[in-house]
C-alpha cells in the first residue's frame, strides 16, 4: 500500500471518529431516565427495569384507582433535550366522597376537601359524649369512593340520681334520669312547733356536669340540714346597723358601725357559720379622736377637716378682726395628744387699741366720735383748719381704727392750702362763692351785666387740684334784647331775655290778619361792636284785595279770599293771548301788582312778501279762522288760486308758499324720503307710483301735441 493511500485511510478514520464522538455526546445529553412514581397516575405501558428514553419520546399515563382524569389536561409526558420529562403534573385528581352529614348534637370538623384518602373528624356538643369512632376515611370500594365506616352518634352524658339528705329533700324527686346540665335545689324540712329551724349547710343547688366528657358527676356534695345558732352579737362603743333579731341562725349577717370618736377595727359585717361562730369575728370600736376643740372668745377655728380629730391633728385659732391673743399675736395652735386630749386651751382674744390721732392745724368734725381709747372699727372724720388743706386728699378724710392697731388711712398732714386765681371777666360778676377764698374745691357762680350773656361750658366753676378753674372761666358777650312786640301777633323768641348774634325770630299774625313787613328779624351788628335787630317789626293788618276778573281767562290757584301776599298765576282760553304779566301779588294797600292782565283775541300778522306769491289784498291783522287767497307766479303767469287760514296760535295754516317745479319737487321728496329713514319696501312703492305719474304726464303732453297738430 502506498504512502498516499495510507494517509487517506488515516484521515477518513479521524473524521469517522469525530462523528462517532459527537453522536455519543448528543445521545448522552438527550436520554431521559424512567419518570418518578406518581401517587395519582402510572405509565400506560409497564416499564421494564431501568431503561432510558430518547429525546422526544412520548409516554402516555393512566389514572390509578381512586383518581380520575383532569378535564382539558393532556396525559402525556415528553422527554426533553435536557434529559427531563416535560408535561402537566396534575394529569389525575383524587375522586370525591359524598358529604357524610353531622350527628345530632354534634358537628363535623371538615378537612380541606372530601376526596379519596382524606379523613373527617367528629365532635359532640357540650354535655354529649361520642359513641363510635371519631374519625372516618374516604376509601375505594368496588372502584367507587366511599367512607370506611358510619358516622358516630352523640349521647347526652348521664348522672346518677342526686344523693338524699337527712331533714331535707331536693327538687328532683319526681325524676328517674338525670343528664348533663340538670340541676336540683335542696331545702330543709320545716321544724315542729317549739323547735329551732334547720339551716342548710353547703350549696343549695347542685348541677350535673362532667370532667372527662364521658361520665356525669354532680358539681358539689349535697348540703346538710342542721340546727345552727350563734350568740347575740355585741360590740362595745358600737351600734348595730342591720335589723335586730332575738335569735341568729346559720347564714344570718350583722353589720356594725362605731360611735362618734371611735373607729372600726376589723370587718363591719359578720356572718353566722355552721360552726355556730361569727365569721369574720365581730369588730372592735377603738377610740380614734379627741373631743371637739374648746371655744375661745372672739376667736374662730380654722383648718377643720370634718368633725374627727385623730392624734396629731392641729387646730388653729384666729382672733376676729380688731382682736389679738397678746401683743402682735393673732393666731394660736393646739394639738390632739396620744391620750386623745388637747394640748391646751388658748386664752380669749382682746381688742387691739389705736393711738390718739393728733393733727397740727387739724380738727375733728364730730365731737361724739371722740373717745379715751380707740378700738378696732372706730371711725374719726377729720379736716383742716381754715387756710389749710389735707395733703394729697380732699377737704376731709375718715380714719378707721384697723385690726392691727393702726389708723387707715394713715393720720394725714395739714399744709397751707393752695389757691386758684380770682376769676375776673369784663362785664361780669360773682353771684355766689362756696368758701371765703379760692381754694381747691371752691365753687364760684358767675353772671353778666345787662346787655351781655355768659359764654362757656357752665356758669359754675370749681378750683381744681392743679390750681386751674374747671371748666375754664367763661366770658361775657354782647346780646340783643327782646325783639319788638307787635299788636295782634307774636314772634318765635317769646319769653327770651337775651338773644345772641345771628339769632333769627319769626313773626306771625292772628287768624284772619296779614303780616305786612319782613316776616323775620335777625340779631346783627352794623359796626362790629354793638348788636341790634335787623329792622322794624312787621305789622298785622286786615288787608283784602279785590277778586281779579279776567274774561276768557283762568287763574291758579282757585281762591275765594285774597289776603295780603297772595300770588296768583293767569292763563287764557284757546284763541286768546295774555296781555300783561302772567302773575300778580296782593300788596299791603289792597291792590294787585303788577295789574291783573287781560285776554285778547289771537290775530295773525299780514302775509310776508314773497317774489313768487301774489296777494290781491293784504291787511295788517287778521282774525282767527279768517282766510286769505293767494296765487303762485311761474314763468310770468299766475297759477291756480290757493288759500291759507289764520290758526288759533296766531300762525297761517298751511303756510303761504309756492312749490318749485314738479321735477325738482319730486327730487326733493325722494331726498327727504331717504333722509327720513322710510323703509325700502315703502320707498320702492312710492318710486313706482311717481314713475307711473311721469308716464301719465308724458302721455298727456303727447296727446296735446297731437291735438294741436
| pLDDT tens-digit map of 634-650 | 777 777 888 888 887 88
Cβ atoms of 463 and 438 within 8 Å: the answer is yes
pLDDT of residue 673: 53
User: Residue 270: its pLDDT value, please?
Assistant: 93
pLDDT for 17 equals 40
- Angle, to 10 degrees, between the axis of helix 662-675 and the axis of helix 680-708? 170
Cβ within 8 Å of residue 437, ≥6 positions away: 387, 417, 419
544 alpha carbon, distance to own chain's centre: 74
Report which DSSP code applies to 500: -
d(CA 669, CA 3): 142
Output the pLDDT for position 13: 38
Rounded Cα gap, residues 135 and 131, in angstroms: 12
- 282 pLDDT exceeds 70? yes
Question: What pLDDT does 489 receive?
Answer: 87
Longest dimension (CA), the chain: 188
**Is residue 357 predicted with pLDDT exceeding 90?**
no
Average pLDDT estimate for 232-239:
90
Higher pLDDT, residue 648 or 520: 520
Q: Beta-carbon neighbour count of residue 208 at 10 Å?
A: 23
Q: What does the pLDDT read at residue 20?
A: 36
Q: How confident is the model at residue 7 (pLDDT cuts 50, 70, 90)?
A: very low
Q: What pLDDT, on a 0 to 100 scale, did the predictor assign at position 1?
A: 44
pLDDT of residue 90: 84
pLDDT recorded at residue 3: 39
pLDDT digits (tens, 9 = 90+) for 263-278: 898 999 999 988 888 9
Record the pTM.
Answer: 0.33
Question: What is the C-alpha to C-alpha distance for residues 221 and 202, in angstroms, rounded to an integer?
Answer: 8
| Confidence band, pLDDT 50/70/90 cuts, at residue 316 | very high
pLDDT tens-digit profile of 183-199?
A: 999 999 988 887 888 88
pLDDT of residue 73: 86
Residue 110 burial (CB < 10 Å; 0-12/13-18/19+)? exposed
Residue 631 has pLDDT above 90, yes or no: no
Provide the pLDDT for residue 505. 92
DSSP for 453-474? EEESS-SEEEE-TTSSEES---
Place 705 in a pLDDT band, splitting at 50, 70 and 90. Answer: low
- Residue 19 pLDDT level (bands cut at 50, 70, 90): very low
Average pLDDT over residues 162-183: 90
Predicted confidence at residue 671, as pLDDT, reads 53
Q: Can you tell me the distance from the alpha carbon of 397 to that of 359, in angstroms, rounded to the nearest whole number?
A: 12
Pick the residue with more confidence: 661 or 342?
Answer: 342
- pLDDT at 11 > cutoff 70: no
Query: Which residues are bridge partners to 183 per DSSP?
Result: 207
Task: Output the DSSP codes for 143-190.
Answer: TEEEESS---EEEEPEEPPPPP-TTEEETTTT-S-EETT-EEEEEEPP
Of 270 and 686, more confident:
270
Give me the pLDDT at residue 104, please: 92
pLDDT band at 573 (very low <50, low <70, confident <90, very high): confident
pLDDT, position 335: 93
Average pLDDT for 200-229: 90
Q: Give the span between the Cα atoms of 96 and 138, in whole angstroms.
A: 8
Confidence of residue 370 (pLDDT cuts 50, 70, 90): confident
The Cα 437–Cα 417 span in angstroms is 10
Within 10 A of 286 (CB to CB), how many other CB atoms are there?
12
Tell me the average pLDDT across 278-304.
89
- The pLDDT mean for the chain works out to 83
594 prior amide bond cis, ω within 30: yes
- Structure confidence at residue 29 as a pLDDT band (50, 70, 90): low
Amino acid at each position: 500500500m502506498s504512502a498516499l493511500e495510507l494517509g487517506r485511510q488515516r484521515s477518513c478514520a479521524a473524521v469517522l471518529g469525530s462523528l462517532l464522538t459527537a453522536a455519543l455526546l448528543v445521545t448522552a445529553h438527550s436520554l431521559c431516565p424512567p419518570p418518578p412514581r406518581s401517587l395519582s397516575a402510572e405509565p400506560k405501558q409497564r416499564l421494564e427495569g431501568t431503561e432510558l428514553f430518547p429525546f422526544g419520546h412520548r409516554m402516555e399515563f393512566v389514572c390509578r384507582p381512586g383518581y380520575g382524569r383532569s378535564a382539558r389536561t393532556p396525559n402525556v409526558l415528553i422527554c426533553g433535550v435536557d434529559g427531563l420529562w416535560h408535561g402537566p403534573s396534575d394529569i389525575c385528581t383524587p375522586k370525591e366522597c359524598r358529604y357524610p352529614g353531622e350527628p345530632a348534637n354534634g358537628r363535623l370538623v371538615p378537612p380541606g376537601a372530601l376526596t379519596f384518602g382524606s379523613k373527617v373528624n367528629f365532635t359532640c356538643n357540650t354535655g354529649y359524649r361520642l359513641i363510635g369512632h371519631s374519625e372516618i376515611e374516604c376509601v375505594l370500594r368496588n372502584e367507587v369512593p366511599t367512607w370506611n365506616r358510619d358516622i358516630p352518634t352523640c349521647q347526652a352524658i348521664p348522672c346518677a340520681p342526686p344523693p338524699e339528705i337527712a331533714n331535707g329533700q331536693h327538687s328532683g324527686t319526681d325524676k328517674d334520669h338525670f343528664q348533663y346540665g340538670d340541676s336540683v335545689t335542696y331545702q330543709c324540712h320545716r321544724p315542729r312547733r317549739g323547735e329551732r329551724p334547720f339551716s342548710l349547710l353547703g350549696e343549695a343547688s347542685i348541677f350535673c356536669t362532667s370532667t372527662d366528657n364521658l361520665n356525669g358527676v354532680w358539681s358539689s356534695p349535697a348540703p346538710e340540714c342542721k340546727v345552727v345558732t350563734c350568740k347575740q352579737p355585741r360590740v362595745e362603743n358600737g351600734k348595730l346597723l342591720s335589723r335586730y333579731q332575738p335569735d341568729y341562725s346559720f347564714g344570718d349577717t350583722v353589720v356594725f358601725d362605731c360611735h362618734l370618736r371611735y373607729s372600726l377595727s376589723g370587718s363591719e359585717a359578720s356572718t353566722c357559720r355552721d360552726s355556730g361562730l361569727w365569721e369574720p369575728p365581730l369588730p372592735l370600736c377603738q377610740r380614734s379622736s379627741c373631743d371637739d376643740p374648746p371655744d375661745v372668745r372672739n376667736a374662730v377655728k380654722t383648718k377643720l377637716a370634718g368633725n374627727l380629730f385623730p392624734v396629731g391633728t392641729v387646730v388653729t385659732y384666729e382672733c376676729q378682726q380688731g382682736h389679738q391673743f397678746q401683743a402682735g399675736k393673732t393666731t394660736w395652735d393646739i394639738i390632739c395628744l396620744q391620750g386623745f386630749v388637747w394640748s391646751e386651751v388658748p386664752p380669749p382674744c382682746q381688742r387691739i387699741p389705736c393711738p390718739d390721732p393728733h393733727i397740727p392745724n387739724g380738727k375733728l368734725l364730730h365731737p361724739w366720735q371722740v373717745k379715751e381709747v380707740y378700738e378696732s372699727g372706730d371711725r374719726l372724720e377729720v379736716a383742716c383748719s381754715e387756710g389749710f388743706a389735707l395733703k394729697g386728699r380732699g377737704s376731709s378724710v375718715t380714719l378707721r381704727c384697723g385690726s392691727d392697731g393702726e389708723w387707715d388711712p394713715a393720720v394725714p398732714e395739714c399744709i397751707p392750702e393752695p389757691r386758684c386765681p380770682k376769676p375776673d371777666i369784663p362785664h361780669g360778676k360773682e353771684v355766689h362763692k362756696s368758701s371765703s377764698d379760692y381754694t381747691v374745691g371752691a365753687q364760684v357762680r358767675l353772671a353778666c351785666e345787662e346787655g351781655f350773656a355768659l359764654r362757656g361750658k357752665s356758669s359754675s366753676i370749681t378750683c381744681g387740684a392743679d390750681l386751674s378753674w374747671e371748666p375754664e372761666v367763661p366770658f361775657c358777650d354782647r346780646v340783643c334784647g327782646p325783639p319788638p312786640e307787635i299788636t295782634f301777633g307774636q314772634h318765635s323768641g317769646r319769653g327770651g331775655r337775651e338773644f345772641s348774634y345771628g339769632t333769627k325770630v319769626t313773626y306771625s299774625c292772628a287768624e284772619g290778619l296779614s303780616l305786612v313787613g319782613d316776616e323775620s328779624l335777625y340779631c346783627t351788628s352794623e359796626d362790629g361792636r354793638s348788636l341790634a335787630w335787623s329792622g322794624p317789626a312787621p305789622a298785622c293788618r286786615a288787608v283784602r284785595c279785590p277778586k281779579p276778573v279776567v274774561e276768557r281767562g283762568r287763574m291758579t290757584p282757585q281762591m275765594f279770599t285774597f289776603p295780603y301776599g297772595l300770588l296768583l298765576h293767569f292763563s287764557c282760553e284757546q284763541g286768546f293771548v295774555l296781555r300783561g304779566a302772567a302773575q300778580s301779588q296782593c300788596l299791603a294797600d289792597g291792590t294787585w301788582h303788577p295789574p291783573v292782565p287781560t285776554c285778547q283775541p289771537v290775530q295773525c300778522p299780514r302775509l310776508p312778501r314773497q317774489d313768487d306769491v301774489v296777494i290781491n289784498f293784504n291787511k295788517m291783522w287778521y282774525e282767527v279762522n279768517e282766510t286769505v287767497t293767494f296765487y303762485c307766479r311761474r314763468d310770468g303767469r299766475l297759477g291756480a288760486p290757493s288759500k291759507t287760514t289764520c290758526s288759533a296760535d296766531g300762525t297761517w295754516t298751511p303756510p303761504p308758499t309756492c312749490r318749485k317745479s314738479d321735477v325738482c319737487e319730486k327730487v326733493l321728496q325722494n331726498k327727504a324720503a331717504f333722509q327720513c329713514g322710510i323703509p325700502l319696501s315703502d320707498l320702492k312703492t312710492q318710486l313706482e307710483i311717481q314713475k307711473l305719474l311721469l308716464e301719465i304726464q308724458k302721455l298727456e303732453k303727447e296727446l296735446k301735441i297731437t291735438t294741436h297738430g
